[in-house]
């Protein structure tokens, strides 16, 4: 049985920009006999040719696993060993449309009146600056939860990392803790600030207190084993690699 997964973008009448294509051959035992994957932006007027015809032009730009199609003796791998690879890569993070790009969005809601829109300090800044919706004091050598008043819907395949702002860390001894936003979390984002200085730190309404960075994530299956593969480092831990 052949399974074809095409990701892309439909525009106009009968036109399709193909972003990514995966073709897998699953045998009767549920094993993966062949897998081809490629990412390429060009127009497909129709997609009704035979699978073997498509296999011929999926040969070069493979950026993952590749297995030759064998019509005699069959080489198989358990499908569960590779299903996570297909799920991870067969997606449409950026799709080419008429030479332009369509990107995934970071959606947000102002859940509290007066909440501030996340902003970037520069076009290529890694994160979006988050601001406090209330005034609050972070006591010296203590911590406090800062309310952003915002809810987020993260792009598929991403989680949100709450990172400290370098200026606050270097000048005021302010750091961020517990900074992970799961992709399925829909509550208000609270930022845990630690004050490592000997003076109270005042947070005013609208102050930038942290930054939100979207990072790709892989969701592996958890497998218990009796032994792990041996490495040269093995169990050597803290300080074992030198200064």
**For 142-186, how does the pLDDT look when each residue is reduced to its tens digit (9 = 90+)?**
999 999 999 999 988 889 999 999 889 889 999 999 899 999 999
What is the spatial distance between Cα 26 and Cα 36, in angstroms, rounded to a whole number?
12
Q: Are 160 and 181 in contact (CB under 8 A)?
A: yes
C-alpha count within 13 angstroms, C-beta hemisphere, residue 188: 17
Cβ neighbours of residue 18 closer than 8 Å, sequence gap 6 or more = 6, 7, 8, 40, 41, 42, 43, 44
Secondary structure (3-state) at 198: coil
Per DSSP, the chain holds a count of helices (H) and strands (E) of 3, 16
- The per-residue pLDDT for range 19-65, each reduced to its tens digit, is 555 555 555 655 555 555 544 433 333 333 433 344 333 333 333 33
What structural domains does the chain harbor?
2-103 (no CATH), 107-216 (2.70.40.10)
What is the spatial distance between Cα 14 and Cα 162, in angstroms, rounded to a whole number?
43
């Amino acid at each position: 049985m052949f399974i074809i997964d095409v990701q892309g973008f439909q525009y106009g009448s009968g036109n399709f920009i193909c972003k990514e294509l995966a073709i897998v051959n699953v045998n009767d035992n549920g094993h993966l006999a062949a897998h081809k994957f490629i990412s390429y932006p060009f127009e497909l007027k129709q997609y009704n040719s035979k699978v073997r015809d498509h296999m011929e032009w999926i040969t070069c730009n493979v950026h993952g696993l590749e297995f030759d199609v064998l019509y005699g003796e069959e080489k198989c791998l358990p499908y569960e060993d590779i299903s996570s690879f297909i799920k991870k890569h067969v997606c449409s993070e950026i799709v080419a449309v008429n030479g332009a790009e369509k990107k995934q969005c970071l959606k947000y809601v102002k859940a509290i009146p007066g909440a501030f829109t996340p902003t970037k300090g520069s076009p290529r800044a890694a994160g979006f600056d988050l601001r406090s919706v209330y005034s609050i004091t972070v006591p010296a050598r203590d911590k406090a939860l800062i309310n952003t008043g915002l809810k987020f819907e993260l792009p598929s395949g991403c989680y949100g990392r709450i990172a400290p702002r370098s200026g606050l860390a270097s000048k005021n001894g302010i750091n961020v803790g517990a900074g992970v936003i799961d992709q399925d979390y829909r509550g208000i984002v609270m930022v845990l600030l630690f004050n490592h200085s000997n003076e109270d730190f005042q947070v005013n309404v609208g102050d930038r207190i942290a930054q939100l960075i979207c990072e790709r994530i892989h969701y592996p299956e958890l497998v218990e084993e009796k032994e792990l593969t041996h490495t040269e480092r093995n169990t050597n831990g803290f300080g074992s690699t030198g200064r």
